[in-house]
């Protein structure tokens, strides 16, 4: 399927049904389909065709999502651009992708001005919602396109439909080549793994350039409504759940923590929720158990990465509970079971697959896995060793086939000859009632080789000492895994999607001002 086919499937279930809603205004399926065809015609009139790359630089907005379907209709490639990236990172990505067209919101005109002269292949710029020097207005661009039926392109499933940037937090950003087959596998896996129903209603608070955007495809294929939030606001999020009888939403763990601390949570009617997805970073099992009590039995985990979008493994809402209805606390640190269309195994450095319970790198293969990194055969070969995609995560599969991620390979700490997994220490720290979030890493140490180092963010209004937290971990994990250095910061540096940036923490700790 093309990306546009998810929209068209929804149209086939009723063109008058609500499709995209924001700020109280709703577009029907028929209206979104018509607009996407006009966008496709305008792209073609601009000289954009099959395989050409089109970048979309926008916050959460119905017009930006509609552009994705227009890009798909002519067989072009959607390149989502994260507006929170630094200008140079976006310049690198658009240059790497060879983008010929950029569709952007007026609020990002300064960013566009900063990078456009360094992108000679970029020949068409269109402002979606205003007037910007050197760019066409959306109305001008659409008016120049011919009316009448559009001859659409139906590419093969192995053609690239999306180029996604990996982000530059670990070095030069890479472009992930995602095909129609990859996206269909992700969509089918979601539909197989979580509770849906007729016409679900999905509330999009997280950026549509990431997992939250990919999750719109199963919703649209069922003729559901996507309610879009232009800016993150937890109070508005709770009000919209009630107003629109929301059935599905996606939040990173850090945002769920904020939701649990929000004064309106316990007075909000959440009965309509069927699945509140969480993912993109590990979640504290203590806070997850709290969420299951206070939000309801609707939490659903997804585990994936840009190279294998969203659906490597899933922990459906029902999997959070035992057969007798009690919370399965032993599974709350699990990433769930591998999805039906994806093979998951654990491998050692020699390329040997390990037995259940043994720890090694989590590897994946199947139609969910990307077609490689764009114009980077060396990086593609490195991540595809032994015929499997290497996730960079250390984990194991238990006897019931539940996957447990214990650390990123690069985050494992070797202290005094012992392996310490930072994620295990982080989970112990976030079990303390005063701790909101934590980051654990290894720093050079003359005695230990590396010392376990922790940086803590406390919950609002809480107070605790470093010594108390260190002792808290020691009692749970022993002295080897207890932090040798522990600092309490007002906040932790985070990426655009809420992941804690350990390289920035390491830099601050090793190069103090």
Say how many CA atoms lie within 13 Å of 500 toward its Cβ: 26
Torsion on CA atoms 50, 214, 59, 138, rounded to nearest 10: 30
Residue intervals of the chain classified under CATH 3.30.300.30 are 412-510
Residue intervals of the chain classified under CATH 3.40.50.12780 are 3-180
- CA dist., res. 413 & res. 65, Å (int): 42
- Check residue 471 and give its pLDDT: 95
- Check residue 212 and give its pLDDT: 85
- CA dist., res. 294 & res. 493, Å (int): 28
- Check residue 513 and give its pLDDT: 62
Q: What's the pLDDT tens digit per position in 284-300?
A: 888 999 999 999 999 99
408: exposed, middle or buried (Cβ count in 10 Å: 0-12, 13-18, 19+): middle
Q: Mean pLDDT over residues 20-35, rounded?
A: 97
CATH class for the region spanning 3-180:
alpha beta
- Check residue 496 and give its pLDDT: 64
- Check residue 367 and give its pLDDT: 97
Query: Tokens at residue 115, please?
Result: 């990078």
Rg of the Cα trace of the chain? 23
Q: Is the pLDDT confidence value at 170 over 50?
A: no
Q: What's the pLDDT tens digit per position in 381-402?
A: 999 999 999 999 999 999 999 9
- Check residue 60 and give its pLDDT: 94
Q: What's the pLDDT tens digit per position in 212-254?
A: 899 999 999 999 999 999 998 999 999 999 999 999 999 988 8
Mean of all residue pLDDT scores within the chain: 93
Q: Mean pLDDT over residues 189-207, rounded?
A: 95
**DSSP structure string for 318-384:** GGGB-TTSSB-GGGTT---EEPTT-EEEEE-TTSPBPPTT--EEEEEESTTS-S-BTT-HHHHHHHT
Q: Is the pLDDT confidence value at 167 over 60?
A: no
Q: Is the pLDDT confidence value at 209 over 90?
A: no
Q: What's the pLDDT tens digit per position in 401-453?
A: 999 998 777 778 888 777 788 888 998 999 999 999 999 999 988 778 889 99
Of 26-40, 69-83, 156-170, 355-369, the range with the lowest mean pLDDT is 156-170
Contact call for residues 208 and 60 (beta carbons, < 8 A): yes
Beta carbons within 8 Å of 264's beta carbon, 6+ residues apart:
235, 238
Q: Is the pLDDT confidence value at 498 over 80?
A: no
- Check residue 332 and give its pLDDT: 94
- Check residue 499 and give its pLDDT: 78
Q: Mean pLDDT over residues 484-491, rounded?
A: 95
Q: Is the pLDDT confidence value at 265 over 70?
A: yes
CB atoms < 10 A from the CB of 388, how many? Answer: 21
Q: Is the pLDDT confidence value at 169 over 70?
A: no
- CA dist., res. 289 & res. 284, Å (int): 9
> Which superfamily does 412-510 belong to?
ANL, C-terminal domain (3.30.300.30)
* H-run or E-run covering 3: helix 3-12
Q: Mean pLDDT over residues 103-113, rounded?
A: 95
Q: Mean pLDDT over residues 22-27, rounded?
A: 96
Model confidence band, residue 495 (pLDDT cutoffs 50, 70, 90): confident
222: exposed, middle or buried (Cβ count in 10 Å: 0-12, 13-18, 19+): middle
- Check residue 171 and give its pLDDT: 57
């Amino acid at each position: 399927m093309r990306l546009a086919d998810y929209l068209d499937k929804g149209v086939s279930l009723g063109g008058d049904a609500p499709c995209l809603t924001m700020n109280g205004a709703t577009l029907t399926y028929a209206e979104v389909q018509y607009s996407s065809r006009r966008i496709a015609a305008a792209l073609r009139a601009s000289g954009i065709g099959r395989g050409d790359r089109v970048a979309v630089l926008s916050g959460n907005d119905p017009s930006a999502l509609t552009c994705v379907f227009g890009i798909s209709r002519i067989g072009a490639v959607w390149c989502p651009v994260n507006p929170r990236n630094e200008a140079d990172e976006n310049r690198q990505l658009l240059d790497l992708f060879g983008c010929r067209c950029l569709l952007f919101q007026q609020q990002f005109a300064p960013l566009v001005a900063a990078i456009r002269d360094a992108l000679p292949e970029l020949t068409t710029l269109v402002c979606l919602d205003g007037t910007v020097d050197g760019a066409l207005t959306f109305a001008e661009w659409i008016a120049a396109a011919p009316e009448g039926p559009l001859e659409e392109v139906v590419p093969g499933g192995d053609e690239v439909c999306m180029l996604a940037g990996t982000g530059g937090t670990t070095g030069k950003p890479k472009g992930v080549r995602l095909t129609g087959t990859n996206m269909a596998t992700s969509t089918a896996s979601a539909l197989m793994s979580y509770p849906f129903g007729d016409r679900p209603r999905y509330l999009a608070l997280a950026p549509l350039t990431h997992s939250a955007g990919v999750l719109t495809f199963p919703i649209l294929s069922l003729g559901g409504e996507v309610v879009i939030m232009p800016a993150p606001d937890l109070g508005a999020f709770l009000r919209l759940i009630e107003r629109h009888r929301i059935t599905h939403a996606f939040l990173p763990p850090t945002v769920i923590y904020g939701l649990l601390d929000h004064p309106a949570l316990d007075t909000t009617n959440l009965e309509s929720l069927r699945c509140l997805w969480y993912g993109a970073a590990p979640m504290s099992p203590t806070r997850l158990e709290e969420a299951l009590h206070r939000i309801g039995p609707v939490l659903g985990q997804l585990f994936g990465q840009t190279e294998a979008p969203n659906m490597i493994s899933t922990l459906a809402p029902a999997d959070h509970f035992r057969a007798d209805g009690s919370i399965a606390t032993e599974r709350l640190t699990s990433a769930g079971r591998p999805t039906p269309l994806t093979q998951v195994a654990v491998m050692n450095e020699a390329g040997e697959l390990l037995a259940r319970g043994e720890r090694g790198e989590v590897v994946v293969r199947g139609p969910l896995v990307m077609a490689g990194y764009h114009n980077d055969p060396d990086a593609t070969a490195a991540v595809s060793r032994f015929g499997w995609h290497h996730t960079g995560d250390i984990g194991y599969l238990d006897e019931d086939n539940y996957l447990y991620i214990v650390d990123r390979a690069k985050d494992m700490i070797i202290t005094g000859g012992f392996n310490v997994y930072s994620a295990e220490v982080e989970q112990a720290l976030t079990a303390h009632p005063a701790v909101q979030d934590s980051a654990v890493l290894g720093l050079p140490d003359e005695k230990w080789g590396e010392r376990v180092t922790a940086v803590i963010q406390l919950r609002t209004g809480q107070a605790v000492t470093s010594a108390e937290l260190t002792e808290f971990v020691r009692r749970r994990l022993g002295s080897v895994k207890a932090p040798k250095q522990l600092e309490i910061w007002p906040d932790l540096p985070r990426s655009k999607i809420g992941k804690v940036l350990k390289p920035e923490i390491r830099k601050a700790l090793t190069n103090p001002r």
